[in-house]
Structure 1
Amino acid sequence: MPFPLYLLALVVFAMGTSEFMLAGLLPDIAADAGVSVGTAGTLTSAFAIGMVVGAPLVAALARNWPARSTLLAFVVVFAAAHVVGAVTGSFAVLFATRVVAALANAGFLAVALTTAAGLVPPDRKGRALAVLLSGTTVATIAGVPGGSLLGTAFGWRATFWAVAALCLPAALGILAGIPGGRARPGAAGEPALRSEIARLRSPRLILVMLLGALVNAATFGSFTFLAPLVTDTAGLAKPWISVALVLFGAGSFAGVTLAGRLADVRPGAVVAAGGPLLLAGWPVLGLLAGYPVALLGLVCVLGALSFAVGSTLITRVLYEAAGAPTMAGAYATAALNVGAVAGPLVAAGAIGAAGTRGPLWASGVLVLAALLVAVPFRGVVAGVRNGG
């Protein structure tokens, strides 16, 4: 894989740390802001809303801008949003900074996905996506647990400062390693924006976007409320939140790495094997969450399955949107983050109805919905053009 892909993954690591770090900070933020944990969880949805709206909007605006300067600008805005978030005493302002940070993240990821697709041969998009998403999974292994420990020791605001500081080496990496040309290296004769947007009329594209959104909603829903599950349901001390996050991240890294090798050639097999296991896994975790050993083990397994299936479906979005070369990354980002918006909202409602295990039951229902949609159209999921 080209070296610039790994520099882009470094930025995704910083942004992924921010996106997921609230999973270990929600109780402290809620207490500091004087709101419920469920209300604090809407900060995750605020971030995801910015990602959903920002991905297609910013990608459309930036489709003819130089890649390096565009990516750098997004990183600067992202850092500034975290500085404001670290100093504000208002939950409303904090909510707004999450939306702004998400817009910057969405723009960056949309352009980065397009850049990555242009750096590799057309049949290696899955591996390129796996390299980018490795930044996210490493964030769950190192960045998010580290942020949780930092927040436990010095308060949640220290984590926001740390994310802002991470943006400096990320910005230097962009300047040093990303070519100064257009957002999609080597692109020529790109279709008009109207034509690229028209790709959204494709039933196949809409189907894989929907499936990706459902699976990622299940993942984000339970992940967002992992902290109270660890402390309240399993009865573990706060430091064990970081352990659970590390295990989830380790599983995620393994899942996305495996999927990166199979998503280009055997996407149907990944979904067919991983989907039913996810369907069983979330309810099983709900039943066994009160047992610390079972909780920690299943968190790792479900991290692997969630990211293997989820990243494979997002790769399918890139393939089905091949006729929209500058907007494909935006469609993939939007699909991913529609799930990130819906998941925590559904999970927050499930907490009110069923307690801390509620998000796990909700995740099982979301995976069931995805499988019910996928089974009649398994040829599309597998990338078959004449049978799906």
Structure 2
Amino acid sequence: MSSFKTRSVVLILLAFVLGCSEFIIVGVLDDISTQLHVGVSTVGYLVTIFALVYAVSTPFVTSAVGQHTLYRFELVLMIIFIGGNVLSAFAFTYPVLVVSRVITAIVSGPLISIGLTFANYIAPLAKKAWLMSWIFSGFSIASVFGVPLGTWIATMAGWRMAFAAIVVISIITMVLMALSLPQDLRQHKARKMASEHKQGSGGELELFRDRRIQLGMLLPMFNLAGAYVVYTYLRPLLSRTLGFATGTVTILLFIYGLMSLASNQLSGRLADHGGLLRMPRIFGIEAILLLLIPAALLTRVTGLAGLFLMGVMMYLINAPIQMHFLAVAEQDHPQAIVMASSLNSIFSNFGIALGSATGGVIVDHLGMTVTGFGGAVYILVAMGLVIWLNRVNKAHAAKKAEVAEAAAPAKN
């Protein structure tokens, strides 16, 4: 089981199961709230806790790899991941469920980071971009199929069985990983592959002194903060506010997942046609959409239209900002390419934490239907940041052109 296709399927399956584990709370929010006798906003904070722990812990746990083989480290992380989901399935109190989600979050980030390192190692040059894009799509597929399926399982057999299903798929994935992934890859070798063409002048932290990186990191954070103010409460919005039956909600979550998958696909096209230069207009449209969500929720038709359009727009920044990070690192900070490749994931989870926490406060004090207002504020901040970043990029390119022109030999 060592062919490229087999290994690729295993890594995509890893992303899928990680996505299912992270997103499942959105699909079983009402069930947990009812059975554990806690408010829906309190359960919503599980999304905040997971994302925050994920973002903060990932760099530290990944750095602990040291000289261990990535194969062994990945399998150990997978065992912990399975244990965290087992604990979730058997959590009979809210505090125990919180602990289980913290355990799962701590290892989820390093699992996908090391998985992407394996992908970079096993893929031939012509297939690297293809495999990377499919691994990221694994999370979208989890949103399309995993969350609605988990919701259906929760409806039929209880929310604990949804976590049990994740455990079963995780065990299968771990066995396939053990049988297929290369066992001799170490971190120093992977890092050398990423930067062997050029040596940087400083360590990885030098990357964070670059204004283009500083501004870029905030974009995925405020983008998903804006979306998750509303998205965290998607299921109760569909069931309680719009009044859809449980079976219909499962179908609507599936459709929403398709919208988010389309968002990822459109993001790739956007990166090839203007990228960040087009994002100010997109953010402006998204802010208007979120401001209209409270009014849209007055009827089923307009409510669904608004929520689905939000799904189409929520991931459009992904490919443009990922290409921005890698371009800056390759040109000016080649010693930090590995770190640069992880920034989108890390700060997206900071945004998920910020947005879901904000949504919880709004739900507690103002009601679920006005969450769109809070989301619009964060999207307007993102719009201001991308305008600033585009100006910085333009100034940097102009300065670099001047330096190159001055360094060119004088013409006779």
Q: What TM-score comes out, normalization by structure 2 length? A: 0.84
Letter matched to residue 227 of structure 1: R
Letter matched to residue 213 of structure 2: L
Equivalent position of 2:377 in the other structure: 365
Candidates 316, 327, 343, aligned match of 2:339? 327
User: Deviation of residue 64 (structure 1)?
Assistant: 4.1
Candidates 353, 357, 361, aligned match of 2:365? 353
Letter matched to residue 200 of structure 1: F
Asked whether 1:70 is paired with 2:78, we answer no
Candidates 155, 160, 173, aligned match of 1:157? 160
Equivalent position of 1:222 in the other structure: 230
User: Deviation of residue 107 (structure 1)?
Assistant: 0.9
Letter matched to residue 164 of structure 1: V
Equivalent position of 1:166 in the other structure: 169
How far apart are the structure 1 equivalents of 2:246 and 2:353? Answer: 26
Letter matched to residue 300 of structure 2: P
Equivalent position of 1:260 in the other structure: 268
Equivalent position of 1:58 in the other structure: 61
Equivalent position of 2:406 in the other structure: none
What do you get for the CA RMSD once the two structures are aligned? 2.9
Candidates 300, 305, 309, aligned match of 1:297? 305
From the superposition, tell whether residues 275 and 6 of structure 1 become closer, same or farther in structure 2 (CA, over 3 Å): farther
User: Deviation of residue 96 (structure 1)?
Assistant: 1.0
Asked whether 1:105 is paired with 2:113, we answer no
How far apart are the structure 2 equivalents of 1:24 and 1:184? Answer: 40
Between the aligned residues of both structures, percent identity stands at 24
From the superposition, tell whether residues 252 and 130 of structure 1 become closer, same or farther in structure 2 (CA, over 3 Å): farther
User: Deviation of residue 332 (structure 1)?
Assistant: 2.8
Q: Which is higher, the Rg of structure 1 or of structure 2?
A: 2
From the superposition, tell whether residues 7 and 272 of structure 1 become closer, same or farther in structure 2 (CA, over 3 Å): farther
User: Deviation of residue 113 (structure 1)?
Assistant: 3.4
How far apart are the structure 2 equivalents of 1:345 and 1:335? Answer: 15
- What do residues 264-288 of structure 1 show as CA deviations (whole Å, max 9, x unaligned)? 6742255245322322222233321
Equivalent position of 1:188 in the other structure: 192
Letter matched to residue 239 of structure 1: G
User: Deviation of residue 33 (structure 1)?
Assistant: 1.7
From the superposition, tell whether residues 223 and 86 of structure 1 become closer, same or farther in structure 2 (CA, over 3 Å): same
Describe how 1:278-293 pairs up with structure 2 within 5 A. Answer: 278-293=286-301
How far apart are the structure 1 equivalents of 2:396 and 2:275? Answer: 10
Asked whether 1:7 is paired with 2:10, we answer yes
**SS, match of residue 293 in structure 2:** helix
Is the Cα–Cα contact under 8 Å of residues 316 and 383 in structure 1 kept in the other structure?
Answer: no
Equivalent position of 2:242 in the other structure: 234
From the superposition, tell whether residues 105 and 186 of structure 1 become closer, same or farther in structure 2 (CA, over 3 Å): closer
Letter matched to residue 60 of structure 2: L
From the superposition, tell whether residues 26 and 171 of structure 1 become closer, same or farther in structure 2 (CA, over 3 Å): same
Candidates 144, 148, 154, aligned match of 2:147? 144
Asked whether 1:312 is paired with 2:315, we answer no
How far apart are the structure 1 equivalents of 2:269 and 2:41? Answer: 37
Equivalent position of 2:34 in the other structure: 31
Equivalent position of 2:405 in the other structure: none
**SS, match of residue 337 in structure 2:** coil
User: Deviation of residue 321 (structure 1)?
Assistant: 4.4
How far apart are the structure 2 equivalents of 1:262 and 1:286? Answer: 29
Equivalent position of 1:202 in the other structure: 210
After alignment, is 374-383 or 222-231 more displaced? 374-383
How far apart are the structure 2 equivalents of 1:205 and 1:260? Answer: 20
After alignment, is 177-186 or 97-106 more displaced? 177-186
How far apart are the structure 2 equivalents of 1:204 and 1:141? Answer: 33
How far apart are the structure 2 equivalents of 1:76 and 1:209? Answer: 31
How far apart are the structure 2 equivalents of 1:167 and 1:380? Answer: 44
From the superposition, tell whether residues 108 and 315 of structure 1 become closer, same or farther in structure 2 (CA, over 3 Å): farther
From the superposition, tell whether residues 169 and 269 of structure 1 become closer, same or farther in structure 2 (CA, over 3 Å): farther
**SS, match of residue 165 in structure 1:** helix
Equivalent position of 1:20 in the other structure: 23
Letter matched to residue 256 of structure 2: F
User: Deviation of residue 104 (structure 1)?
Assistant: 1.0
Candidates 119, 130, 133, aligned match of 1:130? 133
Number of paired residues? 386
Equivalent position of 2:50 in the other structure: 47
User: Deviation of residue 101 (structure 1)?
Assistant: 0.2
**SS, match of residue 326 in structure 1:** helix
From the superposition, tell whether residues 65 and 302 of structure 1 become closer, same or farther in structure 2 (CA, over 3 Å): farther
Candidates 370, 380, 390, aligned match of 1:378? 390
